[in-house]
Structures are given as structure tokens and as C-alpha cells.
DNA sequence: CGGTGAGTTGACACCGGTCAAAGACCGTGG
DNA sequence: CCACGGTCTTTGACCGGTGTCAACTCACCG
């Protein structure tokens, strides 16, 4: 199990302000509006696999990734399957919808993907107060939520209507521009909405077709044009 | 094609204010904050099938359903399939995310489901100005977007991980508490993310199992307990 | 009475998931 | 240095749900 008992957090208002003012959400606000938030922030350092929160938790904290990355996912089918909703990197928000959406419990789990991953923890109540009272911040948060919603919609459509080969091709084109270390098949499966066995099969198939090169989990795209065709940048 | 050339709109500040102040989104604001919006609103009356907007339109209008209902859906697979995202009834918002999410084009189509359907059209720029500057409104809009996001998430999970029988059972339990006129199978298919043939099969199956009664498109639930079991309100 | 559209039903193909077994890789400890 | 154990990956066999195509029925309407 991930270490959950003992966590280290530390304040650092200067770095917090730096991070806040460079994030897409809070960047639009005047430093004066951000200073009180920065003073309340606590940095927390995680290792790969460490749990940020669990589905069902009542969140009183908003997280802003400082370095590393955080994977947000749901566990379904009685725990037999996982679906990764998104992976957030530096300057991105985690748990935005939960914190602002009333006091509903979190709908997903969040764990660190890398060692180290550092997040800035902000108390929800203060964030809300500050955001609602600052038009520029309110606008930015609303825009961020709207964008996230559009992403979810695209993801929904992809998962429901396109088949595995297409989704994998999209992934490869998005992530493997340069030679790239492939995540474990179980992670890929969670991302693509399937199971590790099928990821293995499809990768093998792409390899046999000469579309990619596979060497000890390093992939390289060989036939970008064909992959894009498979990815469904097709004209029907 | 739906009549799109000629539309009638009319202002009615008193009714608009009434509608706004009773909607879940704007209800939290002081009447003083809503009056300027109400003055800018225009009511528009639609018949079944009339188009409110199309995917790709740049929306400069926010819609609030006054009566009737509006279906928001995406067309996929080169036009061969539709997926209904949600159906909004009175006092509900349509196009919220698009209006607040920047100047991206609308990601979905919207048409009226009933005759008549009346919507209040509000100019996006004014709405934004008013919302961002009023903390109570900003909070309500953010909460609404967050809730919508949670709904989308649940829908995604349902569509990806549960099978058709479960989804149909859920639909029947949600919509056919009392005897109820079933929509055309093509509409049901769009709602459930499948094709009319399969809806027909599953309905027939439920009928043969004695779970529902079917008489000229009127359904009645006979065995609620069994339907709920099928719907996956199952343990674990 | 013929035409049109929706609903129904059968045959069939295919994708995706499950289970099980075998192989590759990597660490630890003898 | 090698043997061992665990995890991840690969592969085969198999099954079931879903989508497609086509034929047929039925109701409604001119």
C-alpha cells in the first residue's frame, strides 16, 4: 500500500505565489489577490503510487501540481477495472470540480505517477472565497471547468465509438513523437479503457505491420501516415 | 429540414426575471443583479425538431429553457450515429460550457423535443459580465458546471462499462415510473448509445421475461425489483 | 390500394473480454 | 555468480455482446 500515514508538508509562500501566478487558472489574477492564498498553501511531496485522495473522500483541499504528475482515475466493475480520466502535469489543477461542486465526495482517486511529485495544497474554503470575489479568477475557473468538460466529452466519444486500434494509434501519435518509454500495459489499458492483454496484442500488431519499433519498452513511430489513418483522422 | 429561416423572438422582462430568479443557476442572485439580464433576454418558441444551434456554431447566446425540453446531442461516425448527451427541461441551462469556455465552437447540436418549447435567449457577453462580477452568481455557475461534469463522468462510465441491458433497465426505472409513452427506438438508441435494432431486441426480451408491459408504445414496469437488479444497483 | 416509415426478427461477423499457461525481465539472497 | 520468486508481458483458445444487413410485418395515409 502507498504510504499514507506520514506525509510531510511545508509552507513556502514565495514559491507558492510563483506557482500560482504562472498557472493557467490563477495566472490571470493580480498578485495582490493571490498573496493570501499563497500564504495558506502547503507543499507536499509524493512518491510514485502515493495517494493524494480516494474516491469518496470529502475534499477540503484543492491541489495544484508543482512538479511531477498526478493520475486521476476511477475504479469500476467491482474493482476489476480502472479508467484513467486524466493525467495532470505541472501548473495543472487537480480536484477542481469536487472542490467547487458543493460538498459531494470526490468521484475519483488520485495518485502520484512520478517520484518525486510535488503538489501545492490550498484550503478549499479560502480558495472559494478568493475566486468568487475576484472576477478575473471566477472567469478563469469557469473557463477551466468548461474546457475540462469539453475534454471529457471528446474522451467519452472516443471511448464509446472508436475501437481500440484507433485509440492506441491516437495515444502513440500524441505521446511518442520522439522515442518514448512506454508505461506498463496495465497503465495503458486504464488510459485506453481496456485490459493489458489487448494492449499487448495491438502493440504487437502495430509492430508486425511495421508501424512502430519496440525495443525494451521504447517505442518509436515508423509510419506516421499510416498511424494517423488508423487514428481516424480519416475522411470516413 | 427544421424551419430555421424564420424565428420569432420577443422580449418580456417581467417573465424573464421570473424565470431567471427561479432557475437553479441564477436563483441565488439578488433581483437587482438579474434585472439587467432580464431586460436583455428574448423568448423564442420552437416546435419539435427545430434547431437551437448546430455543432460548430459560434455561440453568442446562452439559453435557459422556459417550457418544453431541449435535446443536446452529438453526431458521430460520419453521421451514422447519434449520442444524446442530455435532455434539458424547464429552468435548465443549455450551452453553458460553450458560452463560458472561451470562443470555441459548440461541440454539440441542440434541438427542441416538444411542441412548443420556449427558451429564453441571453446575450453571452452580458451574462459573462454579470456572472463574473457577482460572487453569488459565479459560485452558482461554477457549481452547475461542476455538477454537469459529474453527470458526464457517470454517463461515461455507464456507456463504457455497463452493457445495454443495464442501461435500458436504468432508463426504464428513471422514466417509466408511471405508464409512459416510449420515444421512438431511434431516440432511445441515441440516448443509450446503440442502434434501434438492439433497443427493439432488448425491449422484447424484457417483455418476454415479464418485466414490462408493452402496448402501443406505452410501457409499464411490472417487476421493478428484477429491473433494479439488472440495472446494476447490484452489490459490491 | 399502394407507399412510406417504424418496428421486428434472423443470420452473421467481429471486436473485446476472460482464463490459463508460458515466457521475459529484475530484484534479492544464498 | 547463480538460483529463486515476483511482476509484467505475451500468446492461444474460447465466449458473449454488439453492430450490420436484409427481409418481413404492421400501422398509418394519401
The count of residues in chain B is 236
Say yes or no to pLDDT of A175 above 50.
Answer: yes
pLDDT at A9: 81
> Burial, A164: exposed, middle or buried (Cβ in 10 Å; 0-12, 13-18, 19+)?
middle
Cβ atoms of B222 and B213 closer than 8 Å: yes
pLDDT at A189: 98
Task: Write down the domain spans for chain B.
Answer: 6-160, 162-231
Cα Rg of chain A, angstroms = 20
Strand C footprint nucleotides (protein C-beta < 7 Å) = 6-10, 15-20, 25-26
Say yes or no to pLDDT of A114 above 90.
Answer: no
Which single residue is written with the C-alpha cell 500495459? Answer: A185
Q: Is A236 on the interface with B (CB under 8 A)?
A: yes
Beta strands B93-94 and B212-215: pairing type?
A: unpaired
Residue B21: left if φ>0, alpha if ψ -120 to 50, beta else—which one?
Answer: alpha
Residue whose Cα is closest to the C1' of C25: A216
- Closest by CA position to A136, among listed B96, B138, B104, B125: B138
Say yes or no to pLDDT of B233 above 70.
Answer: no
pLDDT at A235: 38
Domain B6-160 has CATH 3.30.300.30: no
- DSSP structure string for A37-102: HHHH-EEEEE-TT-EEE-TTPPP-EEEEEEES-EEEEEEETTTTEEEEEEEE-TT-EESHHHHHS-
Kindly list the residues from chain A whose CB atom is less than 8 angstroms away from the CB atom of residue B97.
145-146, 149-150
- Closest partner residue to B159 (CB to CB) among A136, A148, A160 is A160
pLDDT at B78: 83
Look up the pTM and report it: 0.90
CA of A156 to C1' of D19 (A): 19
Q: What are phi and psi of B234, to 5 degrees?
A: -95, 155
User: What does the alpha-carbon distance between residue B138 and residue B99 come to, in Å, rounded to a whole number?
Assistant: 14
List all residues 6 or more positions away from B3 whose beta carbon is below 8 Å from its beta carbon: B47, B50
User: What does the alpha-carbon distance between residue A214 and residue A199 come to, in Å, rounded to a whole number?
Assistant: 13
CA of A145 to C1' of D18 (A): 34
Which single residue is written with the C-alpha cell 478568493? Answer: A130
pLDDT tens, position by position, B39-69: 999 999 998 889 999 999 999 999 999 999 9
C-alpha cell belonging to residue A140: 478563469
C-alpha cell belonging to residue A223: 509510419
User: What does the alpha-carbon distance between residue B7 and residue B155 come to, in Å, rounded to a whole number?
Assistant: 33
* Interface residues 153-182 of A with strand C (CB < 7 Å): 163-165
User: What does the alpha-carbon distance between residue A19 and residue A12 come to, in Å, rounded to a whole number?
Assistant: 11
Of the residues A83, A100, A137, A189, the best mutation for testing chain B's interface (the one with the most B CB atoms within 10 Å of its CB) is A100
A216 DSSP 8-state letter: T
- Closest by CA position to B124, among listed B106, B144, B99: B99
- Closest partner residue to B76 (CB to CB) among A131, A135, A161 is A161
Q: Do B6-160 and B162-231 fold alike per CATH?
A: no
Cβ atoms of B57 and B106 closer than 8 Å: yes
Subunit contact B101:A149, Cβ cutoff 8 A: yes
Say yes or no to pLDDT of B234 above 60.
Answer: no
Name the CATH topology of B162-231: Arc Repressor Mutant, subunit A (1.10.10)
B170 pLDDT tier (thresholds 50, 70, 90)? very high
A7 pLDDT tier (thresholds 50, 70, 90)? low
A30 DSSP 8-state letter: -
pLDDT tens, position by position, B18-36: 999 999 999 888 898 899 9
Subunit contact B150:A104, Cβ cutoff 8 A: yes
Instruction: Give A147 to chain B, closest Cα distance, Å.
Output: 6
List all residues 6 or more positions away from A77 whose beta carbon is below 8 Å from its beta carbon: B161
- The closest nt to B201, taking CA to C1', is C8
- DSSP structure string for chain B: ----S---EE--HHHHHHHHHHSTTTTTS-HHHHHHHHHH-EEEEE-TT-EEE-TT----EEEEEEES-EEEEEEETTTTEEEEEEEE-TT-EESHHHHHS-SPPPSSEEEE-SSSEEEEEEEHHHHHHHHHH-HHHHHHHHHHHHHHHHHHHHHHHHHHHS-HHHHHHHHHHHH-SS-EEPPPHHHHHHHHTS-HHHHHHHHHHHHHTTSEEEETTEEEES-HHHHHHHTT----
* Interface residues 49-68 of A with strand C (CB < 7 Å): none
* Residue A116, preceding peptide bond in cis (omega within 30° of 0): yes
**Of B127 and B10, more confident:** B127
- Sheet harboring B93-94: ordered strands across? B9-10, B42-46, B117-123, B61-67, B93-94
Query: Side-chain half-sphere of A172: how many Cα atoms within 13 Å?
Result: 31
- Closest by CA position to B16, among listed B42, B54, B50: B42
pLDDT at A101: 80
- Closest by CA position to B73, among listed A74, A193, A235, A161: A161
* Three-state secondary structure call for residue A180: strand
In chain B, the residue whose alpha carbon lies closest to the alpha carbon of A133 is B135
Q: Is B160 on the interface with A (CB under 8 A)?
A: yes
Residue whose Cα is closest to the C1' of D26: B216
- The closest nt to A77, taking CA to C1', is C17
pLDDT tens, position by position, B116-168: 899 999 999 999 999 998 898 999 999 999 999 999 999 999 999 999 999 99
Amino acid at each position: 500500500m502507498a504510504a499514507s500515514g506520514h506525509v510531510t508538508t511545508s509552507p513556502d509562500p514565495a514559491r507558492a505565489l510563483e506557482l500560482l501566478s504562472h498557472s493557467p487558472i490563477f495566472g490571470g489574477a493580480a498578485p495582490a489577490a493571490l498573496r493570501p492564498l499563497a500564504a495558506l498553501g502547503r507543499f507536499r511531496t509524493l512518491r510514485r503510487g502515493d495517494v493524494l485522495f480516494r474516491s469518496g473522500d470529502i475534499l477540503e483541499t484543492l491541489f495544484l501540481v508543482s512538479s511531477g504528475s498526478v493520475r486521476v482515475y476511477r475504479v469500476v466493475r467491482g474493482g476489476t477495472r480502472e479508467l484513467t480520466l486524466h493525467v495532470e502535469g505541472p501548473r495543472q489543477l487537480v480536484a477542481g470540480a469536487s472542490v467547487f461542486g458543493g460538498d459531494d465526495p470526490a468521484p475519483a482517486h488520485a495518485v502520484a505517477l512520478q517520484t518525486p511529485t510535488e503538489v501545492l495544497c490550498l484550503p478549499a474554503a479560502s480558495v472559494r472565497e478568493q475566486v468568487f470575489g475576484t472576477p478575473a479568477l471566477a472567469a478563469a475557473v469557469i473557463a477551466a471547468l468548461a474546457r475540462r468538460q469539453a475534454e471529457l466529452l471528446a474522451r467519452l466519444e472516443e471511448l464509446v465509438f472508436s475501437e481500440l486500434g484507433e485509440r492506441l494509434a491516437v495515444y502513440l501519435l500524441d505521446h511518442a513523437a520522439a522515442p518514448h518509454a512506454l508505461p506498463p500495459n496495465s497503465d495503458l489499458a486504464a488510459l485506453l479503457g481496456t485490459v493489458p492483454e489487448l494492449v499487448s496484442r495491438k502493440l504487437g500488431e502495430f509492430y508486425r505491420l511495421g508501424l512502430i519499433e519496440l525495443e525494451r519498452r521504447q517505442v518509436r513511430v515508423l509510419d506516421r501516415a499510416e498511424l494517423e489513418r488508423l487514428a481516424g483522422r480519416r475522411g470516413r
